[in-house]
Structure 1
Amino acid sequence: MSEAKLNEPFYDFDRDNVMTDIVVEGRAILSVVTREALEDHFGAKGSDDADALIKIYLANRDAIDAVLVAHHEKHPDQQPSAFSGDFD
């Protein structure tokens, strides 16, 4: 089976979140990382720069993606999302 093609993370200004792909069972799944999670747990407080928020996500990708994968496994019918409370 070929590996899933991942898109680069991007900032969704309408939803005020970082959007990223995770891979589950060889499939890329578009997922949400809330600004609040990045601010509360990964040092993004006060950052209004979308590029800075994406960099913070990338620097903490392993921890954040683990939450996204766990969310997908628990709720496969929902878009995986990482909220602030997921990191308490």
Structure 2
Amino acid sequence: MNIAFPAERPAYHADRPELTFDAVVDGARVGCAITAEALEDHFGAASLREPDLVPAFDAHRAAIEAAAARMLEETRGQPVVLHSGFFRLYGEH
């Protein structure tokens, strides 16, 4: 499975709250998300607000994308949402 992540800004969704970003899996775009709770608990985001979440995502993008890639492998390329529990179980890196 070939997984890549375009260098695009994540989208903020206040109603969930989470950031979404795309992966490209074997040439097809697949949606990924990380919850605000995970960004607060594991990546230093100060609040659920976009101005706090996006910099935390940017600062830890490599670890977040590695986690998403792991989940994409496990789900055989289905969309994934990274919750705080994933990082408690597997660690940030």
TM-score, normalization: structure 2? Answer: 0.75
What's the CA shift string for 1:6-65, capped at 9, x where partnerless?
6421101121101111233343322110111101111114x1421220111011011011
8 A contact 1:22–1:31 mirrored in 2: yes
Q: Which runs of 5+ in 1 are unaligned?
A: none
RMSD: 2.3
Q: Contact 1:19/1:30 (CA < 8 Å) preserved in 2?
A: yes
Please state if 1:13 is matched with 2:14.
yes
Q: Following TM superposition, by how much is the alpha carbon of 1:5 offset from its aligned partner in structure 2, in angstroms? A: 5.7
> Runs of 5+ in structure 2 lacking a partner?
89-93
State the identity %.
35
Deviations 1:60-87 (A, max 9, x none): 0110111111111111363112111211
Q: How many residues align?
A: 85
Runs of 4+ with deviation above 4 angstroms: 3-7
